[in-house]
Amino acid sequence: MYSIPRIEELLTSANETLVKHENLARNSPSSIFYSGVIKNTRERIQELTAELVHEKKKRELEIVEIRLKGKGARAGKLSLDLFGVLSKTFADCLIEASRQAQYGNRSGSKLLSLTRQTIDLRLDGLAPGSTRVFITGKSNPDLFGNSIIEKALTNTFDLLASKDGDTLIDKSSHLGAQAIKKLNDFFGVVSKAELELDLKWEAPTQKVFVWEGVKDQILALSNSLSNLKIHDPHEIEFSGILITQSLKGFVDVIEEKKTIHTNFATTLLDKVKNIQIGSNCYGTIITTVTQNLATGEEKIHYELKDIYPS
């Protein structure tokens, strides 16, 4: 059995091989060689995907460590009321980020409830000697090995690592407006309690994400998030040629010589996989404008709502 990082590396290589030979086969439709390579590569992708799902199911849980620092969190002691609010605001952020990963801009109490059940966040305990809180969420990979809690955590840590306003705007669009609000609520509670915190998560890829939040940094990030306004989304129709397709959640379409780069939620993965690179397609894209109220800077985020072969 390969490790998860190795399986994902092999899957990336196999998908690149498949795309390359599918493109070559269009110019030589009668080639037995290309047909054989395509058939074998597709079988290899199926095998690797099944192995990836198996390994991620064995992992079972994603574990996030929150280490709280400051006078009110010494020696592993924290007021019960504060602990409850901190846990709830952080959990709400992960639930909303997971809903965004799974359903995109679709919302509602039913989808939120389904998301909550899927990731099943739990308090795993407190470590002795300091106020270290462990929160777990179920990996629950889909048929392609994608886990929405994994994607939500990756998007959250990517946003926390933003070094400038442009990157912050870009990363916030992946997290979603509601998750941004809940994350800012969490920081507000931490700041009001005069605490600092460290966040840590080891991803299935074995990459360790760490974010150290000192008071000034928490305040600065909170102010930056408060200045972000994510406008109401609207839909546009498109018709063009699919030129890039990634199982990581994005496609590129050329429409009248213009390339549209759009992300898609995991629920659309089956539809996207059924459209070959270089073929005509049409569908609907949701556009969302994120604005920095302090600088006036704006960025448009494109999310695929639906796609069909022409």
Q: What is the pLDDT of residue 156?
A: 96
Residue 304 · residue 273 · CB < 8 Å? no
Place of tokens 């990996």: 139
Q: What is the pLDDT of residue 129?
A: 55
Q: Distance between CA 115 and CA 148 in Å, rounded?
A: 9
Write the pLDDT tens digit of every residue in 271-293. 888 888 888 999 999 998 988 88
CATH fold for the domain made of 234-309 = OB fold (Dihydrolipoamide Acetyltransferase, E2P) (2.40.50)
Where does the chain have alpha helices with state H?
4-27, 32-59, 80-103, 109-119, 148-160, 165-175, 177-192, 215-226, 269-273
Place of tokens 């920081």: 187
Place of tokens 């109401």: 232
pLDDT by residue for the chain (310 residues), tens digit each? 678 889 988 988 888 888 788 878 878 888 889 889 989 998 998 899 899 988 888 889 999 999 888 877 765 667 788 888 998 999 999 999 999 988 887 888 899 999 999 999 998 766 655 578 889 999 999 888 889 999 999 999 999 999 888 888 888 888 888 999 999 999 999 998 889 999 999 999 889 999 999 999 999 999 999 998 888 888 999 999 998 887 677 888 998 888 989 988 877 888 888 888 888 999 999 998 988 888 888 888 898 999 999 8
Domain-wise residue ranges, the chain: 4-57, 60-228, 234-309
Q: What is the pLDDT of residue 310?
A: 86
Answering whether pTM is above 0.85, one says no
Q: What is the pLDDT of residue 253?
A: 92
